[in-house]
Structure 1
Amino acid sequence: MLRNILLGTATAMCLMAVLAQAQTPTTGQISGVVNDPSGAVVAGVSLTASDSAGVERTVSTDEQGHYTFPLLPPGTYKIEAERTGFANATFENVTVRITEITTLNVPLTVAAQKQSIEVTTEPPMVQTETPARGDVIQSREIRQLPLATRNFQQLLTLTAGTSAAIPNSSDLGRGDTAFNVNGNRTLSNAVVINGVDASSIGTGSTPNLAVPATDSLEEFIVQTNLYDASQGRNSGSVVAAVTRSGSNEFHGNLYEFLRNTDLDANNFFLNRAGVTRPPYHRNQFGGTLGGPVLRDRAWFFVSYQGTREVNATSLVNSISTVFVPADLSNDRSTATLNRLAASYLMPPCTSPFAALGCLSPTATTLLQAKLPNGQYIIPSAPHPIPIPKPFLLGVITVPYVSVPVVGTSRFQEDQFNTDFDVKLAESNRLSFKFFWADNPELQALYNSFGLGNALPVPGFGANTNFNQRVLSVDDIHILTPSLVNDLRFGWTTINTAAHPQEPFTSSQLGIASPLSSLFAGMPEISVANDFDLGASPFSDNSASEPSYTAADTISWIKGRHSLRIGAEFEHYELKETFNLYTRGQIFFLGQSGDPFKDFLGGYFDLTGLTIMGSGVNNRDNLSYDLAGFATDDWRVTNHLTLNLGLRYEYFSPFTEAQGRFVGLDQDAIKTATIPGAPVGDNTAIVGGFVQAGNATHPLPGVPLVQSSLVPPDKNNFAPRFGFAWQPSDNGHMVVRGGYGLYYDRPNSRFMNNQLLNFPYYTLAQAFATPIGNPFVQVPPPSAYPLTFNNPAVFPFGGPPAFLPAASALGPIQAIPANGIFPDIHDFRTPYVQQFSFGVQDEFANNWLTDISYVGSLGRKLFRLVDINQEYGPPIPTAAPLSPGLSSLVVQGFGVHLMQSSANSSYNSLQASLRKRFSYGLQFLAAYTYSHSIDDYSGDPTGTSDVTVVPGNQMVINNRASSDFDRRQRFVFSGFYELPHFYKSGGLGKQILDGWQLASIFTIQSGTPFSVLTNATAFVQARADANPAMPCNGIASGSTISRLNNYFNVACFTPATTIGDFGNTGRNILVGPGQRNVDLSILKFFPVTEKSYFQFRTEFFNAFNNVSFANPVNILASSSAGAVVATTTGPRVIQFALKFDF
């Protein structure tokens, strides 16, 4: 490994390369050329840059009249130029943005005697020295644009090339944003705060990361394409944020933001169902203070923000839609329930309950059970408008109705941010920054979906807590005027925890559970397509993710070359504790023809099952990164800059402290017949398992391999090339383009997929068991790790095997080995090739257009593939498997491998129009026309994301529009200060002056979706086209006119042949588009020259536009083809009062 690292660093230094846009994640640069009145360059000019704290830096122009201030902290600077024989030139308020180069060309005038000229012209807006794409969002925009939950992440999607759902003002808590950039997955974005990697190695996504309050942020940048080689680890975007610092003047603010239910509109579907507006109260308050500790030597900045929220409007955590029989009322007496069962042709049960086909006592108990607030856990049908289900019971059609249900969620946050800067010497500045936040919340609906497309009911949520800590130390040392060093250290930790709400125990419901002495709560009970009861099996867990960073960058200005060389090291640890499936899961998936009838009678069979989990419940996972880079921004001429480069990255595969990793070598799989097992289900794997080489409890007969299971990838060299060319002397236009290769650091999700793998954890599945005793008697956690020949665990003896019943003849219990394993032969670092070509034109003062082609190609992306795919029919049958599946390794055995085998492509036209602030107006309009294509879009974290394709392993048949593809997207953001009406004082001036409008307007296409047969544990095949009704499935009319039939369901039929994957394509239909307007009205009341009150009213979804979600795409669902949810909330009004000084 060391040899490769040294080779990569040496190669980079020889090339003197990397794409030169950025400086470091916390600094920017000012550069330019000094000319005399004739246009000739002037050498030997002394230039001084001073910031608001009085810190100065001095450089001189070279023989070509060029100068550079590298590695400058962000902020506004005064630039002074001085040379004998010329008048001194002063430029005020020159802005330095993180990772960007500000071009400031200095014209000098001849002076007979010493004099100074103040130049008010602002630097050009075009990027004349870099092809990198991205937008810096500064403090004015951060604090004045309307943000749905005042989360800066919501500003990330203002830039062309980004794609995301519209921020939802009704979201619980912080409203974190998951977004895609230029065809990359949501997990491919890096977040850097104060120069420290703040991303989650556990999830790789933006939720749960540190989110400093908007009033504590100086600025941030979203680098979307061809960003510089000092940034790595991810192939999507780099989000670099810097918090505020103190200055020589005291400054700060106090603020409070308030929302109240009485001001808001109602959810579209709740209003449609006659449900009154649920409560939503949010109060956010805080303040900031910054200033000098020792004037011109040391400065501080501190901030606090608190949030208190009661939310019953969240589309994810508070509102869902369930389906119940139209005859289910608030009369839950035994006699009434017996009549309900009779409508399903089911007689009352005798006591004790001993047979299927009658109303079980457990179902009766659940139907009669109430939450502490007096509501039935299974809601009644308030409006019996029949929605027929697609099944017949004798001659009776049982109608169902949709019932919106609401649970009240709560959120609380307290966060602190501190900064201390000290000037150790004129050439040395040291910065300490620390962020601290705690975010406890009650999620009333913790499950988004149970198995079988069932939405949860209230009462079984989870109490969660997320907290973040980010510490950064940044030492900028000016060694010489042309040599500057930036040394950074950082520590980040993300802690998460969840514990379920459990109003009932298993024993109260008459359900025997093998681990009830340890986990007393009731199991999750999922009635397919209808409702989901009980706590989520994932709602009892905790994790801690500490990481440590050290990085150094040295900048050297040498003639026409601006060189930077750097190295980075980061160490990760992920400590996890989880209790997965320890309370069990019970699924009713329609064996009788209707899942609700299964629930009433306790039917179990091939499409109805139970799962019980047990095993070692903690892991301690370790990894580290090494990276080296070198950069050269080469000014070939004053019109042409070339950016050439290379970055090398080594991502150490994860290991576990006690070696508790087990894998599967598909090339070594061996099978054997299990004595006594049913014919057709008597095959098991007896060879091919491997275990980590550092296992503290090695398994007899299982080969040891490397501790990480997968080999390290030592070939992560990332070449980059770019250019910026000015075709004219006026510098108003620049042609830019380039190519770069970017690697995507594997997060721990592949490792988390192994949490349920034998022998350290098992999921015991049972079929056709009685509802009162549904689970396999698994060993307690203390008995693990198990061995491969434990007869108490495997009823048929031998190694683990997945043994489903061939028919409904009797109960079958087994522990499967259908876990998720890394493919030890096909596991490499994913990478993306980025390329772009475009033109920037500052066609008028303060106006900039940018039109570009941007593309990318993804290779070796992660996907889950079942190398032993076997899909049974939606209706159980004892028919043999189709001949096409006869070559499977093991019938009924899911072997899910995580491979580096997916591909993607992205092509786009991106255009933007930016108006820099002048005459009270500033805005950015960004348009993207794009097409993202791949053969796997998902987050490979579970078997629900396994690639399902016709023809088994023919993954090329999955190539289609990405799940996140939005063909067109337009975003406008900006603000306008209304003209002053009164020049004199008095009441008129106080009323009419000081108004400002700010808005964000978004309109975008919908995302594609596939039509699926069902969503059972075994079948996720796509539907077949209906041969009796050839059509494309597209329905006509507006979205609101076809809410009940968004697409033509009659065009499709279920894939019912055993082993049928469906013959329709992936993502063949497109869901509804979205549009939204957020609006702020601000009024400023001056108090003194430097202090004022600000009162603001904000309207989120100001015109109450309804943005509908994709329709239900599962044919087995009673609501197939219908739109049953929205993606954004209704109009929400917020008031705020701020005092700034």
Structure 2
Amino acid sequence: GAVIPGVMVSIKNRATGVVRNVSTDETGFYSAPNLLAGNYDVTGSAPGFSTVVQSNILLTVGAQQQINISMKVGESAQLVEVREAAPLVQLTSSVISGEVESTTIRELPLNGRDWASLATLSPGVNAIETQIGFETGTSRGNRGFGAQLSISGGRPTQNNYRLDGNSINDFANGGPGSVLGVSLGVDAIQEFSVLTGNYSAEYGRTSGGVVNAISKTGTNTFHGDVYEFLRNDKLDANDFFLNASGQARPAYRRNQFGAAAGGPIRKDRTFIFGDYEGIRQTQGVAIPATVPSDAARLGNLADGTRVNVDPAIKKYLALYPHANGPVTGDKGLFTFAGARVVTENYYTVRGDHKISDKDNFFATYVYDKAPYNQPDTFNNQNILSSTIRHIAALEESHIFSPNLVNNVRGGFNRNAIVNFQSVSAINPAAADPSLGVMPGTNNPQTFISGGFTTLLAGLYGNNTTHAWNSFQFYDDASLTRGAHSLKFGFAMERMQYNFFQSFTRFGKLRFASLKDFLLNNPSSLEGSFPEQTNPRGVRETLFGGYIQDDWRVRRKLTLNIGLRYEMTTVPNEVHGQLTSLAAFSDPLPQCGTANPALTTVLGKPGCAGVASSFFSNPTTLNFEPRFGFAWDPRGDGKTAVRGGFAIFDVLPLPGYFFHPQSVATPFLLAGVVDNKQGPLAGIGVLAGTPGSAYSKMGPNSLYGALMESHPGRSYVEQWNINVQRQLSASLTATIGYIGSHGVHQLNRGDDGNLVIPTMTSAGYLWPYNPTRQDLRINPKLGPIRYMLYNNDTSYHSLQVNVQKRMSRSFQFGAAYSYSRGMDSSSGTIAGDSFSNSVTTWFWFDPKITHARSDFDVTHTAVLNGIWQVPGPRAGLRRLVLGGWEMGSIFKMNSGIPTTPLIGGDAIGAQNAGSDPYSIPDRVPGCDGVNSNFKSNPGGVFLGYINTGCFTLPKASPEIASRCVPFVGSGTLANPQFPGTCSNLLGNAGRNSVIGPPLVNLDFSLYKNFAVKKISESFNVQFRAEFFNILNHPNFGPPLPFFNSGQAQIFKLNGTLSGGGGLQYAVTQPRDIQFALKVIW
């Protein structure tokens, strides 16, 4: 039929009664931008036509919903009700997104009641299973406590999480979350969307994905719920590693309780909503650790060697627990059941007010506090971590005309973090200063090569805090002009990041072997000078502006054309205490301000000069085009062909500077002393005489920092094509391809001060000479932490998404992705952002390590469903057989990669980082893993890696004269492995071993007791939820941690390390949770 101009269209929010009135233009088109998500009634009226009402239209967050109104000739008093559902396909937008609406949030089984975890229901969204955990003593808090997601191949620090239009990322630009790693407030979230590709110019501050959530509002009816969720160990399965060591299931008590309620203060005008959620948890900790066997502690090594244990080490061994599990060679398994104690309180309040027909206002405030206590890996001391979060949002919406709407919004986001702070001693040895190597300290952090678990620094040895303040302002306007729907706006964010770290105040000792440890002969000592713990305060401002035009070129074709400009200022430090080398070879750094620290401590000048700016600003030309199309080839509103191309910038945000600046000379003097020439007096565990190690620290041992002074623009190009088809009134299917290319991405590492190798026909060959520090790029400094922009990335993915909305008491979703993500280094905050990361790679040639990303997963499938089981509607049978409901989430993926390694610095790179560089050779055609690893114990851990698939690098004829063989139990003159080449980089490659697959099924069973006598909506709900109901053990890949990871195949001398095993699980054993909810 013909188009009808001048039709009055009234759009009414069914919950609040708020109405927006617009009219159709000369083309019959109408638009009502910036509506809140919810259910609406759309009414069309015009003289000479019957009034048409289309009811209960669902508008999801951030979506563009096309509702066509078919007018019929008649009297306006005649009412025509249209019950046809709105189209399920996106006919006007090329954005790739997934929506998680309120029913899904409420009714699916949620482990920890973490609403953000449901983002993985969308294809292309992967939870990073190798996110660093709390219990290992590693620096998860320095990477951000929130759960990490990779969206369309992007790094987890490249996403933007929004609540009510404001960014709520943490200081590390990671996802929001408490110290438990979860986002509470399930009952306070109305719904959220996950934008995974080709999103409009409206969205900035991200090059990955956008998680866009909105809080619940009060309505014209009083509604809410009160609940209690309960878990304990009585019904739970035991941890795999506790079972392996014959230990009982640890105690577990978790109470998660709260209430949410909302309603009108003034009907149709003023509304309020509030939510409280609390957690009280005491959870047994099952932490597997590898420790020296009892025989080894006495000096009786498994190879028959007898060692006279140094007297200082005999005392020091009090810090190492005795093995209580299987023993293989010199290693034994120690596992204990400690307790994690958490008290968390989470609050949300939101108020909405209709000022007039043209003005609306809302305000949201969130407060979350969560202290967390636990023992360390060896049960030596109690550790405290805590998070305090404040989130506030204010927004005013003004309707200038039916075609022009403006939204002004302000926001505040604060995180205060205490990360892994030791607070009390369980083992008295952890508080014994006679075991220290630094003045006035307790024992240092200690690494023993060969697969042994790291000993943490003694009492008070860890103290790191982060404070993040983000002040935000946005102005967004929407204008409709004929076939053009324009949106344009401005954004500004002022960022304040304060951090404090007592870096290596107690020191770090590394031993090349267990034998060297027993002899008290470390390979290196790392530590900081007294009182060198200055806090830092980084400041930065972000500016952004955009324009977006959704142009209806034809009835069947819409073009989405946009441009965003987004830049940041160069970061500055409030006291001028920023420092960076201009080049790796520079003897002194450029500084933000003059500082005499080196002059007073070491008699050397502190800075080469005062720099006006750290680096040239790479963001000044950040113009980001966005283009997309949506085509309805049949014109029936049931098929859409969509595609697009966009550029997204990666901004140098303040959190990226913590890692290098926390230890940078001259504002924090910390260094590394290598013990490669044999025993040095004053280095090692010194019973009763700590502190003399300082005499070995000269200027050439001190840490430096290098941030690329003229970085290129860091951005991601993304493209996609997909087809979406509505198969029934409630069922849609989408299949598509999405790809991306990252340019000048961050490359991070702990030490770039290396010996540079020579490229030969056999590969990179190092001039092995461990006694010559002058071979390194900068012999006048020690380790140099770096931040370079020489990392290119790529991502290609086939994605399939099937969604069935709730109908006939059933809803279902299926998401599958087949993908490959490639890079040379995967960390943004640090090189070891994930537990399977190697801390430092070869910055001088990123091609060496260009391989699968640390978080890459080839196959990922996620299924979810909710079934409201049909039952009797009346009588006693209804009480027993009616009201049942089931929900389930099934996840499967093909595993995460890891890197096979040779322990220590076999190649002679002379790095002081936390991981070895050396890589073995791969046997051609060998799979690399044992398919029957569950029946192949392999000693302490499951023998996952097939060590027979790897060999020591070979000395080919053309390089044989320059090769140093692996000596094994022999000598250089008479090596155990002649013909090998320890100073040659092997060909096995980064991330060349794929870890075991993951299979997990969560299931829920609910019984609803509707009490109609109280009200139509009053319901008492009993819930039973089963997490990992199959009790399927899901293991992470063998880890490459320095000298103690199971990914280490060979020791420094070339003998097998006994590694290759699986040492931790990435999912819990079966947990059962019961709950009672009263809903009205």
TM-score interval w.r.t. the shorter chain? 0.7 to 0.9
Aligned Cα root-mean-square deviation (Å): 3.1
1:433 to 364, 374, 382: 364
2:468 to 545, 561, 565: 545
Q: Partner residue of 1:394? A: none
How many equivalent residue pairs?
Answer: 984
1:690 to 571, 577, 590: 590
- TM value normalised by structure 1: 0.82
Q: Partner residue of 1:922? A: 811
Between the aligned partners of 1:775 and 1:231, the Cα distance in structure 2 is 55
Q: Partner residue of 2:626? A: 720
Q: Partner residue of 1:1101? A: 1028
Cα deviation for residue 177 of structure 1 reads 2.3
Going from structure 1 to structure 2, the CA distance change for 1:171 and 1:293 (only over 3 Å counts) comes to: farther
2:874 to 972, 981, 984: 984
Cα deviation for residue 279 of structure 1 reads 1.4
Q: Partner residue of 2:1008? A: 1084
Q: Partner residue of 2:644? A: 738
Give SS of 2:874's match: coil
Between the aligned partners of 1:1094 and 1:322, the Cα distance in structure 2 is 46
1:649 to 559, 566, 577: 566
Give SS of 1:78's match: strand
Cα deviation for residue 585 of structure 1 reads 2.4
Q: Partner residue of 1:83? A: 46
**Structure 1, gaps ≥5 residues long:** 1-38, 329-336, 348-356, 370-376, 389-398, 446-455, 671-684, 780-791, 803-815
CA contact (8 A) 2:93 2:629 kept: yes
1:570 to 493, 509, 512: 493
Cα deviation for residue 559 of structure 1 reads 0.6
For residues 902-935 of structure 1, the C-alpha deviation after alignment (integer angstroms, 9 at most, x for no partner) is: 0111111111111011100111101111111112
Going from structure 1 to structure 2, the CA distance change for 1:885 and 1:121 (only over 3 Å counts) comes to: farther
Between the aligned partners of 1:437 and 1:74, the Cα distance in structure 2 is 25
1:363 to 313, 324, 338: 313
Between the aligned partners of 2:3 and 2:521, the Cα distance in structure 1 is 87
* Residue 379 of structure 1 pairs with residue 321 of structure 2: yes
Between the aligned partners of 1:166 and 1:1020, the Cα distance in structure 2 is 23
Going from structure 1 to structure 2, the CA distance change for 1:424 and 1:135 (only over 3 Å counts) comes to: same
Between the aligned partners of 1:1031 and 1:851, the Cα distance in structure 2 is 34
Q: Partner residue of 2:844? A: 953
Between the aligned partners of 1:122 and 1:890, the Cα distance in structure 2 is 72
Going from structure 1 to structure 2, the CA distance change for 1:1049 and 1:340 (only over 3 Å counts) comes to: closer
Q: Which moved further from structure 2: 768-777 or 571-580? A: 768-777
Going from structure 1 to structure 2, the CA distance change for 1:538 and 1:363 (only over 3 Å counts) comes to: closer
Between the aligned partners of 2:811 and 2:305, the Cα distance in structure 1 is 69
Q: Which moved further from structure 2: 881-890 or 988-997? A: 881-890
Matching residue's letter, 2:862: V
Q: Partner residue of 1:847? A: 731
Matching residue's letter, 1:364: K
CA contact (8 A) 2:896 2:1036 kept: no
* Structure-to-structure mapping, 1:94-173, within 5 angstroms: 94-112=57-75, 114-165=77-128
Going from structure 1 to structure 2, the CA distance change for 1:136 and 1:1043 (only over 3 Å counts) comes to: farther
Q: Partner residue of 2:521? A: 603
For residues 746-802 of structure 1, the C-alpha deviation after alignment (integer angstroms, 9 at most, x for no partner) is: 2334421121011111224344325216865699xxxxxxxxxxxx8965xxxx213
Q: Partner residue of 2:414? A: 493
Give SS of 2:653's match: coil
1:638 to 555, 563, 583: 555
CA contact (8 A) 1:210 1:468 kept: no
1:199 to 159, 169, 194: 169
* Structure-to-structure mapping, 1:786-805, within 5 angstroms: 795=698, 800-802=699-701
CA contact (8 A) 1:631 1:645 kept: yes
Q: Which moved further from structure 2: 568-577 or 266-275? A: 266-275
Between the aligned partners of 1:167 and 1:280, the Cα distance in structure 2 is 24
* Residue 1032 of structure 1 pairs with residue 973 of structure 2: no
Cα deviation for residue 869 of structure 1 reads 2.0
Between the aligned partners of 2:445 and 2:304, the Cα distance in structure 1 is 24
Give SS of 2:435's match: coil
* Structure-to-structure mapping, 1:398-413, within 5 angstroms: 399-413=330-344
Q: Partner residue of 1:476? A: 397
Q: Which moved further from structure 2: 248-257 or 79-88? A: 79-88
Matching residue's letter, 1:1130: P
Matching residue's letter, 2:10: T
Q: Partner residue of 2:138? A: none
Cα deviation for residue 621 of structure 1 reads 1.0
CA contact (8 A) 2:672 2:697 kept: no
- TM value normalised by structure 2: 0.86
CA contact (8 A) 1:135 1:223 kept: yes
Q: Partner residue of 1:47? A: 9
Going from structure 1 to structure 2, the CA distance change for 1:404 and 1:55 (only over 3 Å counts) comes to: same
2:511 to 576, 583, 588: 588
Between the aligned partners of 2:629 and 2:789, the Cα distance in structure 1 is 32
Going from structure 1 to structure 2, the CA distance change for 1:561 and 1:409 (only over 3 Å counts) comes to: same
CA contact (8 A) 1:319 1:404 kept: yes
Matching residue's letter, 2:1019: Y
1:414 to 328, 332, 345: 345
For residues 358-393 of structure 1, the C-alpha deviation after alignment (integer angstroms, 9 at most, x for no partner) is: 441x433344x4xxxxxxx5332335x5412xxxxx
Between the aligned partners of 2:866 and 2:134, the Cα distance in structure 1 is 25
For residues 259-314 of structure 1, the C-alpha deviation after alignment (integer angstroms, 9 at most, x for no partner) is: 0100100112211221111112111000011111112221101111100111124x
Q: Partner residue of 2:686? A: 772
Give SS of 1:756's match: coil
Q: Partner residue of 2:1059? A: 1120
Give SS of 1:486's match: strand
Cα deviation for residue 80 of structure 1 reads 1.3
Matching residue's letter, 2:69: V
Give SS of 1:143's match: helix
Cα deviation for residue 541 of structure 1 reads 1.8
CA contact (8 A) 1:830 1:860 kept: yes
CA contact (8 A) 1:320 1:406 kept: no
Q: Partner residue of 1:904? A: 793
Give SS of 2:249's match: coil
CA contact (8 A) 2:227 2:257 kept: yes
CA contact (8 A) 2:904 2:918 kept: no
Between the aligned partners of 2:222 and 2:155, the Cα distance in structure 1 is 43
Between the aligned partners of 1:286 and 1:480, the Cα distance in structure 2 is 43
Give SS of 1:289's match: strand
Q: Partner residue of 1:251? A: 223
For residues 648-671 of structure 1, the C-alpha deviation after alignment (integer angstroms, 9 at most, x for no partner) is: 00112211011101111128x45x
CA contact (8 A) 1:523 1:585 kept: yes
Give SS of 1:931's match: strand
Between the aligned partners of 2:452 and 2:276, the Cα distance in structure 1 is 45
Between the aligned partners of 1:697 and 1:762, the Cα distance in structure 2 is 8
CA contact (8 A) 2:316 2:435 kept: no
Between the aligned partners of 1:705 and 1:479, the Cα distance in structure 2 is 49
Matching residue's letter, 1:929: Y
Between the aligned partners of 2:189 and 2:369, the Cα distance in structure 1 is 18
Q: Partner residue of 2:763? A: none
Give SS of 2:860's match: strand
CA contact (8 A) 2:1010 2:1018 kept: yes
Between the aligned partners of 1:508 and 1:999, the Cα distance in structure 2 is 51
2:432 to 505, 508, 511: 508
1:1046 to 944, 962, 971: 944
Between the aligned partners of 1:555 and 1:1069, the Cα distance in structure 2 is 51
Matching residue's letter, 1:835: W
Q: Which moved further from structure 2: 192-201 or 719-728? A: 192-201
CA contact (8 A) 1:293 1:300 kept: yes
Q: Partner residue of 1:786? A: none
